[in-house]
Amino acid sequence: MSGVAGGDEVMMCSFRAGAGLFGIDTRQICEVLGAMASQPVPLAPRYIDGVVAYRGEVLTTLSFRALLGLERRAQGSCVLVLDDEQSEERFGLVVDEVGGVVMMELSKFEANPSTLDERSMDLFDGTCRTESGLMVRLDPARLRPSRLAATGLFGKTRQVQSGGQG
């Protein structure tokens, strides 16, 4: 690991979704956008929040709450623009609230607890204790929308109402 943090430290951007505290390596975050009105996409999987305009592109956003199995929140959400290492896919992650940047020692990270449910096991990338509680580390590569679709863990498309009688 490089940067001012020294050999075994890493800068994490912390954020909240529901009751949980999460963190993503800052190097994998392109930009933190404030609250943005996303346009919902009909027939898309439930975990897709919608699309937002971002620097001349159409950015697909994920609802992290939906991924955790929580109800959607009407407002006050915040969009993180993530880039996985290969820059294959840029996408947005909608979270409740962005905290700040914290330095973490890599050695403090522990693997996912073995009792975790299957979905969380797939999403999470280890945990770490902080002063404000347990922080779950996320890996953007695992959150890519196309990968999520391929796992099949997060539900198919939203229910379509039957085409006949209204």
Partner 1 sequence: MQELTREFIAESQEGLERMELCLTELEKRPNDGELVAEIFRTVHTIKGTTGFLGFSRLQTLAHTGESVLAALRDGKIGVTPALISGLLALLDRLRAILRLIEETGAEGERSTDDDAGLSSNLVELRTRDAQLPIPESAAAVPRVVEQADALPTSAEAPASQRRTLRIDVEVLNRLMNQVGELVLTRNHILQSEPGAENFAELARRLNNVTGELRETVMQARMQPAGHLFGKFPRMVRDLARTCGRQARIEFEGQETELDKSLLEAIRDPLTHAVRNAVDHGIEPPEERMRAGKPAEGLVRLRAFHRGGWVVVEVIDDGAGIATERVLAKAVERGYVTPERAASMSQHEALQMIFVAGFSTATKVTSVSGRGVGMDVVRANLEKVGGNVELESRAGFGTTVRMRVPLTLAIVSALVVRSGGQNFVLPQSSLVELVYVPRRDRGKAVERVGEADLYRLRESLLPLVWLDRLLGLEQGADAEVRDAYVAVLEAGGRRFGLVVDGLKAPEEIVVKPLSAALREIGMFSGATVLGNGVLALILDAAAMGVRAGVRPAADAGEISGGPKSARAGLKSGMESSMVIYETWKRRTGGMDRGAQMALPLSAVERIERVSLNQIEWADGHAVLQYGGELLPLEDVEEAMTELGADALATILICQRPGVQPKRRVGMAVRRVLDVSEGTLLAANADLPGGQLAMAKSRVTTVHREFVGQLELQEVA
Contacts to partner 1 by CB under 8 A: 37-45, 48, 51-53, 56-60, 89, 91, 145-146, 148-149, 157-166
Closest CB to partner 1 among 2 and 162? 162
User: In the structure encoding, which two tokens stand for residue 106, read together?
Assistant: 């890599």
Q: Write down the least CB distance from residue 149 to partner 1, Å.
A: 6
* Dist. CA 94–CA 18, nearest whole Å: 12
User: Residue 59's closest CA among 81, 37, 44?
Assistant: 81
Show the CA angle centred on residue 138, arms to residues 96 and 53, nearest 5°: 55
Q: Write down the least CB distance from residue 27 to partner 1, Å.
A: 22
Closest CB to partner 1 among 3 and 40? 40
* Dist. CA 166–CA 164, nearest whole Å: 6
* Dist. CA 128–CA 107, nearest whole Å: 9
Closest CB to partner 1 among 65 and 137? 65
Q: Write down the least CB distance from residue 135 to partner 1, Å.
A: 27
Q: Write down the least CB distance from residue 45 to partner 1, Å.
A: 8
Q: Write down the least CB distance from residue 41 to partner 1, Å.
A: 6
Side-chain half-sphere of 26: how many Cα atoms within 13 Å?
18
Residue carrying structure tokens 């199995």: 69
Other residues' Cβ atoms within 10 Å of the Cβ of residue 106? 13
